[in-house]
Structure 1
Amino acid sequence: MSDSLQTYLEAAEGAGKVLAHARLLVRLAAVYQEIVPSHLGQASSVANYKSRVVVIHASNGAVATKLRQMAPTLLATFTQRGFECSGVQVRVHARLDPETARVPAQKPLSVRTTQELAALSDSLPLSPLRTALENLLTRSAKQE
């Protein structure tokens, strides 16, 4: 069974093109991780290779900007390493990792802080600051 699956994956009429493309992407990704600084490598990845253009997804605009500045170096290195590459395209593609998509925990105000803010709010005349303090006290989770 595994022989027939391997034969199918490698056959041109089967999934051979897909498998070859996947292997190419793995090789490109390995070279990419060697080239870029580690902090940029952690915030980006090789997404595709089409029409001799390497497509890189960056997790935010700052990383994308830095990678665009590095595009000539990336292109030269990919070409030097034997890839037929005529360009590098960088796109911002936010990741949905649990770490980055976490909702920050709401920290409750202590009883003392709540009392001090309430006293400050009461001592202020009607103003945007007083309204903001009252809204803060209303919305905040109070520590029991």
Structure 2
Amino acid sequence: MSRFSPFSRPGAPAAPRAQRNSRAPGKPRAPQPLAEVLSRTDAFAPLRAGVEQIAAIQRDLNALLPDYLAASVEPGFIKEGTLALFAAHNALAARLRHLEPRLVTELQARGWALNSVRIRVRPQAVKEPPQPKQARMTPAGAAALATLSESLPPSPLQEALAKMAARHLKRR
């Protein structure tokens, strides 16, 4: 029994199991737009409507909020006239609470049927720090830096160039 429904692709007849699994080994499936996947069957209609609603609220919030807030705020669903907003941390949640009356008024003016906003903190995963740069310099470049540092009068620039040249010459 396949874990995929034979109805998962509109217009595609159910292929025998050997043909369905005949995809080249190691070749991943091509990514598909979410809207396309959700439009395949009517069973996903409520989910599709919810995704479209959240995307529309996100666009309006991006237009209404300053950039530093918009990037760290995620909208939730509107339930019983209350919009749930999720902030990345407490400081942003406090700032949103100050903007709450204005947000409600402006979202109502844009056609959203809501009476209030409920702000919750949903910490985001900590991003990995970027890897430190591992600059490489050719021996000719390091030698040119050493020559340049020797030709300069004593100064912070001359010291920095000499240190950089020595570090890159030592690696070779």
TM-score (norm 1): 0.60
Q: 1:51-90 CA deviation, whole Å, 9 max, x = no partner?
A: 2211111111111011011011111111111111111111
Distance (whole Å) between structure 2 residues aligned to residue 97 and residue 2 of structure 1: 40
Q: Give the share of equivalent positions with the same residue, in percent.
A: 18
Which 5+ residue runs of structure 2 have no aligned equivalent? 1-8, 13-36, 130-172
**Is structure 2 residue 29 aligned with structure 1 residue 29?**
no
- Cα distance in 2 between the residues matched to 1:74 and 1:21: 21
Aligned length: 97
CA distance in structure 2 between the partners assigned to 1:97 and 1:49 by the alignment: 28
**1:63 & 1:83 partners in 2: Cα distance?**
23
Give the letter aligned to residue 105 of structure 2. Answer: A
Displacement of 1:48 in angstroms is 2.7
Q: Which residue of 2 aligns with 1:63?
A: 92
- How far apart, in 2, do the equivalents of 1:3 and 1:70 lie? 49
47, 56, 64: which one pairs with 2:76? 47
- Looking at structure 1, the residues matched to 90 and 62 of structure 2 have their Cα atoms a distance apart, in angstroms, of 19
- Per the alignment, do residues 3 and 98 of structure 1 end up closer, same or farther by CA in structure 2, a change over 3 Å counting? farther
Rate the CA distance shift 1:3–1:57 in 2: closer, same or farther, 3 A: farther
CA distance in 2 between partners of 1:23 and 1:3 (Å): 25
Helix, strand or coil at the partner of 1:96: coil
> SS at 1:88's partner residue?
strand
CA shift, 1:43, in A, is 2.0
- Residue in 2 aligned with 1:122? none
1:95 aligned counterpart, secondary structure:
coil
Alignment correspondent of 2:110: 81
- Report the alpha carbon displacement of residue 2 of structure 1 after superposing the two structures with TM: 3.9
What residue in structure 1 maps to residue 125 of structure 2?
96
The residue type paired with residue 60 of structure 2 is: V
Cα offset, 1:42, TM superposition: 1.6
Distance 2:114 2:67 in 1: 23
Considering only CA atoms, is the larger Rg found in Structure 1 or Structure 2?
2
Residue of structure 2 in register with 1:38 after alignment: 67
Question: CA RMSD for the aligned pairs?
Answer: 2.2
- Identify the residue that residue 47 of structure 2 maps to in structure 1: 18
Q: With CA pairs under 8 Å and 6+ residues apart, which has the higher RCO, 1 or 2?
A: 1
